[in-house]
């Protein structure tokens, strides 16, 4: 696996900057993203699909920082969104609305109205009730809502954790394959709906291309049946989920994926939409945290850092593995078995458990790798802790892409003892 954040003379770098200096300037905990890595990953990804009509709809939930979004939209990316908040971010960051698809099982009327107003490419509809409401809302607004049905193909995949599997019948997502044609036939009759495509998303952190081929063929069968019934689709949206390497494993081989998918897309004559999130930004982010204390008498040591599950919840929530290493490596650091834990008052608050690593010194810095996706976007204010700052490094340039929250940010909007709302 190539090193995204390289080391020279024992010091970790982001772009042309020493990470320890960035931490001195911006404080910790600190999310650092490498813009060049994001941009080159985006370019490599899209290059695999030359010759077919592809819309790359970056999955905003992975990392929704405005600066990252702006950079991706400048490269021509569209967006896969799941909320009014994500729509707002995308519009602020300069997305072309006709490159936006809107997924999610719980869209509200307000969200439908805003997306219709913005003129998005498609609603990926996840239930028959949602479809009825969308028809009513669009009709009332004198519009036709562009619709693609999210089909649940009932494919169970080992994604590493049950919470990231979405394409099997026990999951809340999508409409069962065997209902899809009837639902399309109903939609075709409605004044507020316009059928534009079909959608499937089978899970996240998937490493095998063949599973996508299976999902594609499953929805293609439906598309062909619809064609015979006079309903023509413009696109197949194959969702996201393209896996990356967190420890020693390789990510999904994009060329293998493209080789499996491109010929069948060409044959189908349909446009392809892909919604990668993690694949584009995951490797490009590192969380810098400070070691506050090292404790423990026995064989097991606890390294207490200033970041915890509030900054990065993946280890606690999914047992997610993230490589952790000192920002400055010294020859004297002997390898020891440690738990890297945060300051949150929960036993489940850890960044790593039973990890062999050089024992860091109190006051030293640690880098938690591969956190560009589902790191900051899943951060919370639990225990009333301000969220971390985010910076983007681009070669020699550094921008503060989100300032560190203050304690006043934490109480904004709450009722003060004097009866006013804190601003």
Instruction: Please state, in angstroms and rounded to a whole number, the distance separating the CA atoms of residues 167 and 277.
Output: 17
Q: Least distance (Å) from ligand LLP to the CB of residue 164? A: 5
Question: Of 172 and 266, which CB lies nearer to ligand LLP in the complex structure?
Answer: 172
Q: Least distance (Å) from ligand LLP to the CB of residue 387? A: 17
Q: Where are the alpha helices (DSSP H) in 75-203?
A: 84-92, 109-118, 128-140, 177-188
Which residues in this chain contact ligand LLP in the complex, by CB under 6 A?
Answer: 59, 62, 80, 103, 164, 201, 204-205, 239-242, 275-279, 314, 318, 373-374
Question: Of 59 and 310, which CB lies nearer to ligand LLP in the complex structure?
Answer: 59
Q: What is the DSSP string of 295-310?
A: E-SSS-EEEEES--TT
Q: How far is CA 294 from the centre of its chain?
A: 33
Question: Of 239 and 364, which CB lies nearer to ligand LLP in the complex structure?
Answer: 239
What is the greatest pairwise CA distance in the chain? Answer: 73
User: Is 345 part of the annotated catalytic residue set?
Assistant: yes
Q: Least distance (Å) from ligand LLP to the CB of residue 45? A: 11
Question: Of 5 and 374, which CB lies nearer to ligand LLP in the complex structure?
Answer: 374
Q: Least distance (Å) from ligand LLP to the CB of residue 40? A: 17
Catalytic residue, candidates 51, 142, 267, 345: 345
Q: Tell whether the torsion through CA atoms of 91, 97, 102 and 106 is positive or negative.
A: positive
Give, to the nearest 10 degrees, the angle between helix 209-228 and helix 254-268.
Answer: 10
In sequence order, the 6+-apart residues with CB closer than 8 A to the CB of 387 are: 310, 311, 376, 379, 380, 381, 404, 405
Question: Of 17 and 71, which CB lies nearer to ligand LLP in the complex structure?
Answer: 71
SS3 (DSSP) at 351 = strand
> Residue 57: phi, psi to the nearest 5?
-110, 90
Closest CA to 309 of 374, 245, 392: 374
Question: Of 10 and 348, which CB lies nearer to ligand LLP in the complex structure?
Answer: 348
Q: Least distance (Å) from ligand LLP to the CB of residue 186? A: 23
Upstream peptide bond of 29 is cis (omega within 30 degrees of 0): yes
Residue 370 sits at the vertex; the CA angle it makes with 365 and 371, to the nearest 5 degrees, is 80
Question: Of 29 and 241, which CB lies nearer to ligand LLP in the complex structure?
Answer: 241
Residue 377 sits at the vertex; the CA angle it makes with 409 and 47, to the nearest 5 degrees, is 140
Q: Least distance (Å) from ligand LLP to the CB of residue 4? A: 17
Instruction: Please state, in angstroms and rounded to a whole number, the distance separating the CA atoms of residues 289 and 389.
Output: 11
First to last CA, the chain: 47
Instruction: Please state, in angstroms and rounded to a whole number, the distance separating the CA atoms of residues 334 and 298.
Output: 16
Q: Least distance (Å) from ligand LLP to the CB of residue 24? A: 29
Q: Least distance (Å) from ligand LLP to the CB of residue 280? A: 8
Is the Cβ–Cβ distance between 118 and 95 less than 8 Å? no
Is the Cβ–Cβ distance between 286 and 5 less than 8 Å? yes
Question: Of 64 and 328, which CB lies nearer to ligand LLP in the complex structure?
Answer: 64
Q: Which residues are catalytic?
A: 345
């Amino acid at each position: 696996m190539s090193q995204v954040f390289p080391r020279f003379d024992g010091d970790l770098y982001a772009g042309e900057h020493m990470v320890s200096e960035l931490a001195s300037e911006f404080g910790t905990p600190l999310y650092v993203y490498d813009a060049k890595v994001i941009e080159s990953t985006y370019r490599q990804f899209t290059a695999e699909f030359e010759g077919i009509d592809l819309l790359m709809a970056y999955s905003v939930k992975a990392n929704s920082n405005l600066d990252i979004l702006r950079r991706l939209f400048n490269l021509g990316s569209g967006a896969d969104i799941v909320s009014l908040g994500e729509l707002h971010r995308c519009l602020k960051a300069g997305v072309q609305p006709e490159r936006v698809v809107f997924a999610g099982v719980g869209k509200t009327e307000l969200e439908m109205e805003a997306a219709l107003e913005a003129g998005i490419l498609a609603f990926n509809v996840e239930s028959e009730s949602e479809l009825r409401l969308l028809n009513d809302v669009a009709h009332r607004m004198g519009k036709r809502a562009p619709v693609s049905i999210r089909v649940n193909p009932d494919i169970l995949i080992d994604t590493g954790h049950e919470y990231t599997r979405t394409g099997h019948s026990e999951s809340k997502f999508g409409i069962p394959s065997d209902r899809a044609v009837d639902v399309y036939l109903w939609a075709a009759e409605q004044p507020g709906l316009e059928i534009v495509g079909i959608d499937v998303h089978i899970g996240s952190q998937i490493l095998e291309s063949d599973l996508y081929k299976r999902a594609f063929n499953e929805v293609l069968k439906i598309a062909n049946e619809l064609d015979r019934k006079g309903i023509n689709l413009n696109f197949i949206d194959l969702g996201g989920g393209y896996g990356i390497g967190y420890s020693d494993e390789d990510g999904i081989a994009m060329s293998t994926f493209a080789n499996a998918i491109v010929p069948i897309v060409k044959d189908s004559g349909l446009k392809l939409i892909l919604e990668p999130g993690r694949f584009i930004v995951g490797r490009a982010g590192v969380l810098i945290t400070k070691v506050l204390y090292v404790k423990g008498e026995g064989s097991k040591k606890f390294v207490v850092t200033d970041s915890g599950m509030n900054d990065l919840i993946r280890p606690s929530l999914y047992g997610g593995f993230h490589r952790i290493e000192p920002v400055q490596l010294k020859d004297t650091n002997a390898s020891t078995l440690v738990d890297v834990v945060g300051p949150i008052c929960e036993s489940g608050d850890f960044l790593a458990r039973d990890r062999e690593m050089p024992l860091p010194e109190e006051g030293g810095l640690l880098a938690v790798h591969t956190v560009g996706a589902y790191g900051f976007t899943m951060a919370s204010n639990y225990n009333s802790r301000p969220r971390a700052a985010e910076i983007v490094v681009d070669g020699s340039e550094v921008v503060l892409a989100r300032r560190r929250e203050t304690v006043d940010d934490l109480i904004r909007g709450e009722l003060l003892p004097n009866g006013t709302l804190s601003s």
